[in-house]
Copies of this chain bind each other. A is one copy, B any other.
Amino acid sequence: MAANTHVESASHALLARAAAVIPGGMWGHQSTRFLTSDHPSFVASSRGARFTDVDGREYVDLMCAWGPMILGYQNPIVEQAVVEQAQLGDTQNGPSARAVELAELLVETIDHADWAILAKNGTDATTACVTIARAETGRDVVLLARGCYHGAAPWCTPAPAGVLDSDRASLDYFEYNDQASFDDAVQRAGDRLAAVVITPFKHIEGLPNEDVTPDFARCVRRACDDAGAVLVLDDVRCGFRMNVGSSWEPLGVRPDLSAWSKALGNGYPIAAVVGADGLREAAERVFLTGSFWTGAVPMAAAIATIQTLRSTPAFDRMVAAGERFRTGILEQLDRLEHVRGTYTGPVTMPYLSFDDDPEHDWISEFSKVCLRHGLYLHPKHNWFLSAAHDEESIDVALTATAHAFAHVDAAAA
A253 contacts partner chain B, Cβ-Cβ < 8 Å:
no
Partner of A162, one of B42, B95, B282: B282
Q: Say yes or no: A154 contacts B131, CB within 8 Å.
A: yes
Q: Say yes or no: A26 contacts B94, CB within 8 Å.
A: yes
Fill in one digit per residue for A239-270: 1 if any B CB lies within 8 Å of its CB, else 0.
Answer: 00000000000000000000001100001110
CB neighbours of A44 from chain B (8 A): 88-89, 96-97
Q: Say yes or no: A261 contacts B27, CB within 8 Å.
A: no
A289 contacts partner chain B, Cβ-Cβ < 8 Å:
yes
**C-alpha spacing A281/B161, complex, angstroms:** 11
A219 contacts partner chain B, Cβ-Cβ < 8 Å:
no
Which residues of chain A (50-92) have a CB below 8 Å from chain B?
51, 54, 61, 63, 65-69, 73-74, 79, 82, 86-92
A17 contacts partner chain B, Cβ-Cβ < 8 Å:
yes
Partner of A43, one of B22, B96, B117: B96
Give chain B nearest CB distance to A206 CB in angstroms. Answer: 16
Which residues of chain A (265-316) have a CB below 8 Å from chain B?
267-269, 280-295, 298
Q: Say yes or no: B21 contacts A66, CB within 8 Å.
A: no
Q: Say yes or no: A293 contacts B28, CB within 8 Å.
A: yes
Please choose the segment from A163-171, A176-184, A362-370, A402-410 that sits at the chain B interface, where 4 or more of its residues have CB less than 8 A away.
Answer: A163-171
CB neighbours of A69 from chain B (8 A): 91
Which residues of chain A (145-204) have a CB below 8 Å from chain B?
152-155, 157-159, 161-164, 166-167, 169-170
Residues in A lying within 8 Å of B, measured CB to CB? 14, 17-18, 20-24, 26-30, 32, 40-46, 51, 54, 61, 63, 65-69, 73-74, 79, 82, 86-97, 99-100, 103-104, 106-107, 114-118, 120-124, 127, 130-136, 140, 152-155, 157-159, 161-164, 166-167, 169-170, 236, 261-262, 267-269, 280-295, 298, 376
8 contacts between A and B (CB under 8 A): A17-B104, A18-B95, A21-B114, A23-B281, A30-B94, A65-B93, A90-B268, A127-B154
